[in-house]
Amino acid sequence: IRGRREVCLPAFHRAGSRMKYSTAVSSSRRKSRKAHFSAPSNVRRELMSAPLCSELRNKHAVKAIPVRKDDEVMVVRGTFKGREGKVIQVYRRKWVIHVERITRDKVNGATVNVGIDPSKVVITKLKMDKDRKAILERKSKKSDKGKGKFTESEVAAMANVD
């Protein structure tokens, strides 16, 4: 029985088994959730990003971008899957977006917009202005670096080194 204590401990209690990438950032679930749900509006904007459709992704070399008011989106998950429309409101307080023609009738006869999570839509058409162009330019430059991949000319040059 003596000396078996380490075997009984879960993996996250053993020294060196779980390594953090940054000691400045907490890995606590409690703190992460608090930071998420009490995030200010400018942080919520970034968190409420949606992926671009494949055509826009190839054109701009960007995977996702924060949703804004006049973007056109297509719902890809949930009961409204396949429905397309223009974003009428980005409701940051409730973490949802409202899309035109996606509504529900209330019991009293009023129609209300149904909130949709931005991660469950793809952006099919972007509302372009100078700020949006700057964002796309900046993000595409980031992805153009090649992530440490070698070009064909570099490979050929390395073959001659011996």
How much is the pLDDT for 24? 92
How much is the pLDDT for 149? 72
How much is the pLDDT for 13? 54
- In the chain, which stretches have pLDDT less than 70? 1-18, 144-148, 162
- Asked if residues 88 and 77 have their Cβ atoms less than 8 Å apart, the reply is no
How much is the pLDDT for 100? 96
- Which residues, in sequence order, are bridge partners of residue 65? 50
How much is the pLDDT for 161? 73
Residue 53, by phi and psi: left (phi above 0), alpha (psi -120 to 50) or beta?
Answer: beta
Q: How many CB atoms lie within 10 A of CB 74?
A: 17
How much is the pLDDT for 152? 80
Whole-model pTM over 0.85: no
How much is the pLDDT for 2? 59
d(CA 124, CA 52): 7
- Asked if residues 118 and 68 have their Cβ atoms less than 8 Å apart, the reply is no
Q: How many CB atoms lie within 10 A of CB 123?
A: 24
